[in-house]
Amino acid sequence: MLLGVDVGGTFTDAALITGDALVTAKAPSTPHDQSEGVIAAVEAALDRASARAGDVERFVHGMTVGTNALLEGRVARTALVATEGFTDLEELGRQARPELYRLCVGHPPPIVPPERRIAARERCGRDGVIRALDEDALREQLRDIDAEALAVCLLWGFRHQEHERRVAELAGDAIHVSTSHETAAVFREYERCATTVVDAALSPLLRRYLERLAERSRDAGLPAPEIMLSGGGVADAATAARHGSWTVLSGPAGGAVGAAQLAGDADAVCLDMGGTSCDVSVARAGRVQGTGGREVGGRALALPMVDVHTVGAGGGSVAWRDPGGALRVGPRSAGADPGPACYGRGGEEPTVTDANLLLGYLDHESPLAGGVTLDRAAAERAVRALAESLGMEPLDCAGGIARVAGTEMARAVRVMTVERGVDPRELALLAFGGAGPLHAAAIAEELDMRTVLVPRASGVLSAVGLIAAERRRDLVESVLLAGDALDSDAIAAVVERLAVRGRDELSAPDAEVRSAYDLRYAGQAFELTIDGDARPDVGDLRAAFEAAHRERYGYADADSALELVTVRVAVALPPAGVPLEGSGGAEEQKSRPVRFAGDEVSATVVRGVPESVDGPAIVELDESTVVVPPDWTARADAAGLRMERG
């Protein structure tokens, strides 16, 4: 048996593969200690499968511990050792403003305050040591530091590692140490420093959480958990605990991996809408698109990650009236406690879920997955209060809430497609998460997309994706090769060095090796990542780079010199096969009034995956609900439901 458990803002999802069957379950998330909700979801899944914990062979976990800690500022007390004269890198950052026309918006405060910044008397250059490390002075500085974790980021540390290693040795074992050459071995001092600081600040918290989870797992009879990393691969808990920054996108990564596998050869925009947020990614040829770095909570992370854009639009997102009298939705969420008003747990603010209940998309007579019974009267009270402040009728307000949330998610899709030169009309929209299929057709209409795919296990696809993820090590090395130095032999030597390291870390000498290259024209500030062979022909690399450059920027320059900045290697073991396919089969239960575009119509209600149904219809799956508007048709396919716009 294979087990995957994903922690969301509202529910914790479990997926259990036993033989060719997929068993799923949900439990309310427990923000105070996510491991409690994890074990509750596991017990529910084992109970539904009539199985024992001892039957589970592999347990993979996706979480939001690191994300939440970073966004909320609940991090370990951290110190920084940097080359003398460069201790303020994290605070200085880049000159770019978060918002171009809002001059008052600043960057988040530095994690390491000035009093915990240590200047190391040393200096390395491109070709090696310029000034030896003054160990005696450093010992004195480290003796007086008051911190739980230490980040070490020295100039050219990604290439010359000896000084960083020595600093870690001098710091000793009493404090967690993150070095830049182990965390993010890439050039650009600010991004490397900021990533290492985040890694040091999160790792002690993550270690404590994983220790609690491992203890609960042992007590329950489960195997030791493996952890989903931000890049879409899985690592053992010890590796994840050493590098907390590697898990910042652990939660969204599982859903992106599962959606990409389900999309197969089809190119798709993957939309994961849960209770708190909506994550959008793009899948090409069965693989989720990745990136070499991004910002999370305003902090730079120069790490391999799934390329996901997140907006604060989920089922629990709170609707509100702004000072100008406009209806707004999110980013604040009702979360798991108290949750939307219709959950009956004390919530009084209107949310997207409350609006969907009043519009007829959800039914108070049909409990949600996880055993949540919906209270229509509570939803009406919450929405009516907002409607009165806006001078609207309650049902019109509910429709407005759904439209505003859909518009926010459509904007996120445009960020991942239109703003990158990709036409979303050429892609399918693959919607999952507990709330994604409710809004998928409306989002597709706004973007003029014609096909929506809804997986059979859409409500727990993130947990399924954890099982489907490969055991992997993502390794990077900045090389800065150009001119005569840029040749196949030099590139192959770097790839081989990283591949050996990755295979050793995985203890898998036959693991697959995939390579990619960050390339740019000489003089450019940023790079494009191009897939290539382990020993690529430089001419082929240039041709692929110029094609990508032309697609992204509209031109290519055949006369400019090419520069290879960074080599990226993924060493991976094959993922487990996941039984996502299934047969159709559903009962037409009844009809009920549903509102579309302000008009009330009678919609067919179907439980399960129908062979075919014309809109308006509501399809109730085990963990999610699908809205099929008028002029849309839904039919069963191998993986779930395929919706086509008429």
Residue boundaries of the structural domains of the chain = 71-206, 472-572
pLDDT band for position 582 (50/70/90)? Answer: low
CA distance 17 to 45: 10
Is the model's pLDDT at 132 over the cut of 90? yes
- By the 10 Å C-beta count (0-12 exposed, 13-18 middle, 19+ buried), 104 is classed as exposed
Q: What is the pLDDT of residue 614?
A: 92
Average confidence (pLDDT) over 138-148 = 91
- DSSP lists the bridge partners of residue 270 as 281, 430
**What tens digit of pLDDT does each residue of 5-39 get?**
999 877 899 999 887 788 888 888 888 889 999 99
The closest of 197, 210, 260, 224 to 63, measured between CA atoms, is 210
Contacts of 499 (CB under 8 A, 6+ apart): 513, 534, 569, 571
pLDDT at 624 (0 to 100): 87
- Strand-pairing partners, residue 570, are 474, 514
Q: Say which residues have a Cβ less than 8 Å from residue 403's Cβ, sequence separation at least 6.
A: 442
Task: Specify the DSSP element, H or E, that contains 350.
Answer: none
Structure pTM?
0.87
The alpha-helical segments, DSSP class H, found in 149-236 are 162-171, 180-183, 189-220
Alpha-carbon distance values, 112 to 116, 190, 504 (Å): 6, 14, 34
pLDDT digits (tens, 9 = 90+) for 62-96: 998 888 888 778 899 999 999 999 999 999 998 87
The answer to whether the CB of 479 falls within 8 A of the CB of 241 is no
Is 353 exposed, middle or buried (CB count within 10 Å of its CB: 0-12, 13-18, 19+)? buried
Q: Are 57 and 19 in contact (CB under 8 A)?
A: no
End-to-end CA gap in the chain: 42
Asked whether the predicted pLDDT for residue 376 surpasses 70, the reply is yes
Q: Which of 615, 619, 589 is nearest to 602 (CA)?
A: 615
Instruction: Give the C-alpha distances (Å, rounded to integers) separating 201 from 66, 207, 463, 569.
Output: 10, 11, 27, 26
**Contact residues for 277 (Cβ-Cβ < 8 A; gap 6+):** 9, 310, 311, 312, 313, 314, 331, 333
pLDDT of res. 370: 64
Residue 577 has pLDDT above 70, yes or no: no
Q: What pLDDT does 5 receive? A: 95
In the structure, how many helices (H) and strands (E) does the chain have?
A: 16, 35
- Measured CA to CA, the distance from residue 121 to residue 123 in angstroms comes to 7
Average pLDDT over all residues of the chain: 90
587-604 tens-digit pLDDT:
777 889 999 988 999 999
CB-based contact 141:104 (threshold 8 Å): no
Report the distance separating Cα 389 and Cα 328, nearest Å: 13
pLDDT of residue 447: 95
Strand segments, DSSP code E, in 398-502 are 428-432, 451-455, 472-482
Closest CA to 80 of 3, 156, 174, 192: 192
Residue 580 has pLDDT above 70, yes or no: no
Mean of pLDDT values over 445-466? 91
Whether 374 contacts 364, CB under 8 Å: yes
- CB contact set of 164 (below 8 Å; sequence gap of 6+): 152, 153, 154, 157, 179, 180, 181
The percentage of residues in the chain with a pLDDT greater than 90, rounded to a whole number, is 67
User: Do 458 and 435 contact (CB within 8 A), yes or no?
Assistant: no
Q: Average pLDDT for residues 532-541, to the nearest whole number?
A: 93
Mean pLDDT of the region 479-490: 92
The predicted-structure confidence for 295-353, as pLDDT tens digits, reads as follows: 888 889 999 999 998 888 888 899 999 999 999 998 888 876 788 999 888 889 999 99
Using 50, 70 and 90 to split pLDDT, how confident is the model at 584? Answer: low
Instruction: Assess contact for 481 and 490: CB atoms under 8 A.
Output: yes
Query: Which residues neighbour 494 within 8 Å (Cβ) at sequence distance 6 or greater?
Result: 477, 479, 567
Burial of 210 (0-12, 13-18, 19+ CB in 10 A): buried
Q: Which pLDDT value is given to residue 495? A: 96
What Å distances lie between residue 84 and 89, 163, 194, 253, 641, CA to CA? 11, 13, 17, 38, 60
**pLDDT exceeds cutoff 90 at 639:** no
Helix (H), strand (E) at residue 40: helix 34-49
Q: Which CATH number fits domain 472-572: 1.10.3470, 3.30.1490, 3.30.750, 3.40.50?
A: 3.30.1490
Handedness of CA 97, 102, 108, 113 (dihedral sign): positive
Task: Evaluate the omega torsion of the peptide bond into residue 424 and state whether it is cis, within 30 degrees of 0.
Answer: no
Q: What is the dihedral of CA 162, 166, 168, 169, to 10 degrees?
A: 140
